[in-house]
Structure 1
């Protein structure tokens, strides 16, 4: 995982400062838009959140979901448990296949602000786990800062100084996802924060698997 955690960036390792900074920038708006416009409209969603941070996404999710969050930071997970302990399962470790064996399948695998901290092999490993975790009609939703020609100079500067050291352009993210998924929808958003910033939202599915499942059902 490539990220800078020294100097001024080190304060973001503290949950209270992390949440304050995100709220100041307007990440609450981004989470609200993400859950309302990009999540499946389905009751009782099973959500696996990889790199969940302090699990603030739960503020914008309905009560009937089953939520499982993983983050390497014990401090973040402790904060999540304090605020949302009765609404999900929280693990202060990296998710792996052993976890998935007893957690079951998920409708959504969420990676909000994760891929730009991972190099290409690490991203492939994350997608491997996501494919393993997904139900047959599930989807992976990722959100990351993104370079693009039309973004403002301020947005580019902010992204260049992000803790994550593997920010890519839209094509770069999509190419990585295409090794695991046959159906990828990508959307550039410049309006999710209070400051100029560019996010790429990807929704990744495997249509071939869905079609095969559908065909099998029709012939039963």
Structure 2
């Protein structure tokens, strides 16, 4: 199953099967909220399905190391975005300028603590003052359903955390972090936490 999900067709089929049809719209309109003509960086963009829900005139840049995902994104969206077949690193982002919104959708639970901490600092560095990082990941919580916990235990990512554990990593780089717990974004029992991390207007760290 994990190998199949590395292929864009099966990834999109699986996502359409379990996610609410308006999942990307919710993530964009409720949390990312990019304004017209703003610059958006998508770390671990996959086949870039969220681009369909973004305003058409945003300047979109997506990174993913999966060649098939990037080829699919380029074929589907063409000039609507710039797609890099690479892991996002500080070096890779150095010549791309600053962004108003950075997204890491379903990324953190694939990263260990050191890698996740680096993602937060990399995003902070890539953001304009006042810009925001939005993350979206499966999350353990006390009292969640057995089905949700079982599904999280068998997720492709091996670093699913509690809300407090995600927060601790985010707060290493951002002084303003707002968590949002959601259990209504899939067609199956599941708990997600969305973090909205804001870089302060002066551009300093935590």
TM interval, shorter chain, is over 0.9
Mind listing any 5+ residue stretches in structure 1 that lack a counterpart?
1-7, 212-220
SS at 1:111 equivalent: strand
**TM-score normalised by length of structure 2:** 0.95
Relative to the length of structure 1, the TM-score reads: 0.89
Query: After the TM superposition, which segments of 4 or more aligned residues of structure 1 sit over 3 Å from their partners?
Result: none
Match of 1:105 in 2: 98
Q: What RMSD, in angstroms, separates the aligned Cα atoms of the two structures?
A: 1.6
Q: Does 1:82 align with 2:75?
A: yes
Max Rg structure: 1
1-structure distance, mates of 2:203, 2:169: 21
Give the SS at the match of 2:2: helix
Match for residue 129 of structure 2 among 129, 132, 136: 136
The superposition leaves residues 11-64 of structure 1 with CA deviations (integer Å, 9 ceiling, x where unpaired) of 111110011000101254221111111123522121100000000001111111
Task: Note if contact 2:28-2:34 (Cα within 8 Å) is conserved in structure 1.
Answer: no
Q: Does 1:10 align with 2:10?
A: no
Tell me the matched-pair count. Answer: 205
Which runs of 5 or more residues in structure 2 are unaligned?
A: none
Residues 38-53 of structure 1 mapped to structure 2, 5 A cutoff: 38-40=31-33, 42-53=35-46
Return the structure number with greater helix share.
1
Deviation at residue 10 of structure 1 after TM alignment: 1.4
Q: Offset at 1:125? A: 1.3
Which piece of structure 1 moves more, 171-180 or 26-35?
A: 26-35
